[in-house]
């Protein structure tokens, strides 16, 4: 990715790293850690003080991968698991018990990890839908944006979209420290039956006035009216969100996916993806993610976990209570 004044040597956005620097490393379970790529991400995040690694997986594969990347694993905790499903269950149990404050996907299928996290009794449910958010940093300006949901909820209902918004608002407040302006994207700023997403956005705007405190939520907005002050001026739209959105809520997964990938591939933006609505933040990475995105995602998870706990230093993770059965109390 492009090196600018806004990025550190690791390519990670400098603003995120500055926020991370004030926080302790967060104990983080790397789920199915036995691959060089997964381990390399863990090593970098450890070296940068973002995580205390808890490497869950096949100990032989972990040791082999560590040798291949030249990591002594000094200071890392290894928790054996006989297969991927077991690694996911153990990592989730570690989060329930407070032994780790975040999960990071290693060499495992996303569905396997999420199945364990979503388990009704032994998972990480909090009562909110699990939703995905990309925290984006744009090069040049260092402008930050959240795009949600571009990875988990395919065609979210209004209720799911409410949780998507709630989770993203909490993320923005934890990471950015201020009340966000939330734009509900459609392809038009007119409310018209011809475009169901515009009707949904209009309904959500009204719902959020009651349901989502600490944020200004408005839609429908097309992308230009959400992010460009000039476009808002030309179309005489004076709402606080118009042209100045911090969070872009997309009507469907295809819109979010194309939007964040356009910013990554054509603009060299850094996309840090995280699953929210679980008792601990879960970092999902893709094979095609560059190192900067992996580090940025670890930083986001650290900031979310660390700041949630900041009211009670020394408390166990997680501070968002998992609902369901008792935590099994596994200790790494």
Residues near a copy of itself (CB under 8 A)? 138, 150-151, 154-155, 185-188, 194-197, 222-224, 227-228, 231, 234-235, 250-259, 261-267, 287-288
CA 99 to chain centre: 20
3-state secondary structure of 233: helix
Q: In the bound complex, what is the minimum distance in angstroms from residue 130's beta carbon to a copy of itself?
A: 14
Torsion region of 142: left, alpha or beta (phi above 0 gives left; psi -120 to 50 gives alpha): left
Whole-angstrom distance, CA of residue 56 vs CA of residue 64: 14
Rounded to a whole number of angstroms, the minimum distance from the CB of residue 214 to a copy of itself is 26
**Residues found in the chain:** 332
**Cα 213 from Cα 251, distance rounded (Å):** 21
Report which DSSP code applies to 57. E
Question: Which residue, 133 or 151, is less far from a copy of itself as judged by CB?
Answer: 151
Q: Nearest distance from residue 221's CB to a copy of itself, in Å? A: 11
Nearest to 88 by CA among 282, 317, 276, 273: 282
Which residue lies nearer to a copy of itself by CB, 252 or 319? 252
Shortest CB 168 distance to a copy of itself, Å: 16
Of the pair 127, 196, the CB lying nearest a copy of itself is at 196
Q: Which is nearer to a copy of itself, 1 or 63 (CB)?
A: 1
For a copy of itself, which is the closer residue by CB, 176 or 290? 290
CA distances to 110, 119, 208, 235, 284 from 113, rounded to whole Å, are: 5, 10, 31, 45, 9
Q: What distances in angstroms separate CA 158 from CA 61, 205, 208, 214, 249, one per listed residue?
A: 44, 11, 11, 19, 12
For the chain, how long is the longest CA-to-CA vector? 63
Supply the minimum distance, in Å, between the C-beta of residue 37 and a copy of itself: 11
- For residues 283 and 91, the answer to whether their CB atoms sit within 8 Å is no
Shortest reach from residue 258's CB to a copy of itself, in Å: 5
Closest CB to a copy of itself among residues 147, 171: 147
Residue nearer to a copy of itself on the CB measure, 77 or 187? 187
Query: Least distance (Å) from a copy of itself to the CB of residue 246?
Result: 16
């Amino acid at each position: 990715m492009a090196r600018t004044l806004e990025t550190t040597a690791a390519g990670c956005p400098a603003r995120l790293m500055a926020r991370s620097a004030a926080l302790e490393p967060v104990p983080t379970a790397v789920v199915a850690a036995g691959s060089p790529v997964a381990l390399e991400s863990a090593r970098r995040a450890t070296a940068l003080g973002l995580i205390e690694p808890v490497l869950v997986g096949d100990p032989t594969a972990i040791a082999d991968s560590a040798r291949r990347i030249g990591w002594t694993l000094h200071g890392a905790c290894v928790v054996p698991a006989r297969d991927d499903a077991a690694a996911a269950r153990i990592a989730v149990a570690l989060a329930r018990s407070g032994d780790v404050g975040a999960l990071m996907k290693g060499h495992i299928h996303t569905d396997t990890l999420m199945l364990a996290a979503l388990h009704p009794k032994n998972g990480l449910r909090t009562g909110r839908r699990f939703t995905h958010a990309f925290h984006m940093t744009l090069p040049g300006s260092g402008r930050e944006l959240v795009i949600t949901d571009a990875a988990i909820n395919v065609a979210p209902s209004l209720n799911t979209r409410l949780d998507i918004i709630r989770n993203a608002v909490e993320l923005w407040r934890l990471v950015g420290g201020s009340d966000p302006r939330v734009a509900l994207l459609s392809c038009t700023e007119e409310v018209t039956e011809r475009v169901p997403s515009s009707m949904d956005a209009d309904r959500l705007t009204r719902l959020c006035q009651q349901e989502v405190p600490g944020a200004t939520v408005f839609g429908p907005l097309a992308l230009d009216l959400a992010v460009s002050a000039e476009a808002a001026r030309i179309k005489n739209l004076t709402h606080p969100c118009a042209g100045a959105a911090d969070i872009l809520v997309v009507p469907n997964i295809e819109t979010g996916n194309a939007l964040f990938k356009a910013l990554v591939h054509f603009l060299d933006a850094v996309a840090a993806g995280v699953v929210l609505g679980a008792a601990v933040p879960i970092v999902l990475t893709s094979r095609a993610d560059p190192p900067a995105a992996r580090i940025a995602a670890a930083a986001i998870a650290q900031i979310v976990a660390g700041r949630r706990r900041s009211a009670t230093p020394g408390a166990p993770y997680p501070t968002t209570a998992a609902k369901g059965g008792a935590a099994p109390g596994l200790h790494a």
